[in-house]
């Protein structure tokens, strides 16, 4: 049985312009110890999807349809203590910005002690701090830094602390939302390598949310390409890089800098992401797609398997296309 199954998930936000459909009909599953990369540009719904998986949407957001099954149990139907035990203990999340996720007036050790003891009150603060010190050593940080405040740490250290808090309760699934945002390329590589090591040593399943295909290239087992709140392509990482089928995926790959290329110009995708506050007829990428034809503008494509284990939502691969 799959560890996580998401079925036809729809998430909306209340906005001054009306209902904003941030996630629309998303379905996928994950196996134990698998890493799934969710890739797309800003506003595509990937962070909203991550929050929905933990039932952590803000007050103006709500799941309007679908199921999120963890070990066969629907997270969306859980409440109170049962839901609290799932968060952190079974599924943990690393949020985008450690600067705003860490309490500036609490020492690092207190962050760990609070998280550990909230789920296991019988653990003393001393025992929690001892475990936190062990975790910090695994992250390449001296346990002495437990006495520091967040402002005393570098950006890379803060992100390591967030990762440490994520794995402190030995979860089975770790959701990392843009874990390398605002970090330089050297620290980014170190963070990704750390995530890979923790995944292997702790036997974690992981969802890596990012806007960069380069970030997931050596970490993910499979990649889901999101656009306009939907998944338009899903396949293993080698297939996505070697033989992408959806036009948006092909264009995203052209945006990845290539030092071997003789070209001196940077690629870009013309147009803007769709406005999700009103229904969009046809394919959401039609307005920016270089291969668009009449059917694309009126008939939404369905995500389906067009090659073994390679799912695509695109009319180009329909029988008799064009």
| CATH assignment of the domain containing 86 | 3.40.50.300
> Are residues 74 and 67 in contact, defined by beta-carbon separation less than 8 angstroms?
yes
Percent of the chain with pLDDT over 70: 96
pLDDT of residue 259: 63
Beta pairing class for 4-15 and 61-70: antiparallel
How far CA 134 is from CA of 4, 66, 149, 172, in Å, comes to: 29, 40, 18, 19
Q: Which residue, among 64, 65, 47, has the nearest Cα to 56 in the 3D structure?
A: 47
How far CA 222 is from CA of 186, 188, 194, 266, in Å, comes to: 24, 20, 19, 27
Supply the range of the domain harboring residue 59.
4-90+171-317
In a domain? residue 129? no
pLDDT of residue 24: 95
Residue 304 pLDDT grade (very low, low, confident, very high; cuts 50, 70, 90) = very high
Strand partners, 312: 233, 304
Residue 187 pLDDT grade (very low, low, confident, very high; cuts 50, 70, 90) = confident
Q: How many domains does the chain have?
A: 1
Lowest-confidence segment of 109-118, 209-218, 223-232 by average pLDDT: 209-218
Flag whether pLDDT at 60 surpasses 90: yes
In a domain? residue 62? yes
Which of the pair, 155 or 148, is modelled with greater confidence? Answer: 148
Mean pLDDT of the region 1-8:
94
Residues 6+ apart with CB under 8 A from 305: 311
Q: What is the pLDDT of residues 82-107, one digit of tens each?
A: 898 899 889 999 987 777 889 999 99
Residue 212 pLDDT grade (very low, low, confident, very high; cuts 50, 70, 90) = confident
Flag whether pLDDT at 65 surpasses 90: yes
How far CA 294 is from CA of 204, 210, 287, 298, 319, in Å, comes to: 45, 32, 11, 7, 15
> Are residues 109 and 132 in contact, defined by beta-carbon separation less than 8 angstroms?
yes
pLDDT of residue 132: 95
pLDDT of residue 181: 76
In a domain? residue 223? yes
CB-hemisphere CA count at 13 Å for 269?
A: 20
Mean pLDDT of the chain: 91
Which of the pair, 243 or 180, is modelled with greater confidence? Answer: 243
What is the 3-state secondary structure of 55-122? CCCCCCEEEEEEEEEECCEEHHHCCHHHHHHHECCCEEEECCCHHHHCCCCCCHHHHHHHHHHHHCCC
> Are residues 236 and 65 in contact, defined by beta-carbon separation less than 8 angstroms?
no
The whole-angstrom distance between residue 70's C-alpha and the CA centroid of its chain comes to 16
In a domain? residue 196? yes
Residue 230 in tokens: 């939907």
Flag whether pLDDT at 319 surpasses 80: no
Strand partners, 68: 6
In a domain? residue 183? yes
pLDDT of residue 262: 66
CA 35, 308, 269, 262 dihedral sign is: positive
pLDDT of residue 270: 87
Flag whether pLDDT at 260 surpasses 80: no
In a domain? residue 29? yes
pLDDT of residue 322: 57
In a domain? residue 131? no
In a domain? residue 232? yes
pLDDT of residue 17: 80
């Amino acid at each position: 049985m799959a560890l996580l199954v998401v079925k036809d998930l729809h998430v909306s936000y209340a906005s001054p312009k009306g209902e904003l459909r941030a996630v629309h009909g998303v379905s996928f599953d994950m196996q134990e110890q698998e890493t799934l990369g969710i890739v797309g540009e800003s506003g595509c719904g990937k962070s909203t999807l991550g929050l929905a998986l933990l039932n952590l949407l803000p007050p103006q957001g709500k799941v309007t349809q679908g199921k999120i099954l963890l070990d066969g149990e629907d997270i969306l139907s859980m409440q109170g203590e049962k839901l609290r035990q799932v968060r952190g203990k079974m599924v943990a999340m690393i949020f985008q910005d450690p600067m705003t996720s860490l309490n500036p007036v609490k020492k690092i050790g207190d962050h760990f002690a609070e998280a550990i003891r909230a789920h296991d009150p019988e653990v003393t603060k001393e025992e929690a701090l001892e475990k936190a010190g062990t975790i910090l050593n695994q992250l390449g940080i001296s346990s002495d830094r437990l006495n520091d405040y967040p402002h005393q740490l570098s950006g890379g250290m803060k992100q390591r602390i967030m990762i440490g808090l994520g794995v402190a309760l030995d979860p089975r699934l770790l959701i990392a939302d843009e874990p390398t945002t605002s970090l330089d390329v050297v620290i980014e590589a170190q963070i990704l390598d750390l995530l890979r090591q923790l995944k292997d040593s702790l036997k974690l399943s992981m969802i890596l949310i990012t806007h960069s295909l380069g970030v997931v290239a050596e970490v993910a087992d499979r990649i889901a390409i999101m656009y306009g709140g939907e998944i338009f392509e899903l396949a293993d990482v080698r297939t996505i890089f070697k033989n992408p089928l959806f036009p948006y995926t092909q264009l995203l790959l052209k945006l990845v800098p290539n030092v071997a290329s003789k070209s001196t110009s940077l690629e870009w995708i013309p147009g803007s992401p769709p406005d999700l506050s009103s229904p969009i007829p046809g394919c959401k990428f039609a307005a920016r797609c270089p291969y668009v034809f009449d059917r694309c503008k009126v008939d939404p494509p369905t995500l389906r398997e067009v090659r073994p284990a390679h799912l695509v939502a695109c009319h180009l691969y329909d029988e008799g296309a064009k």
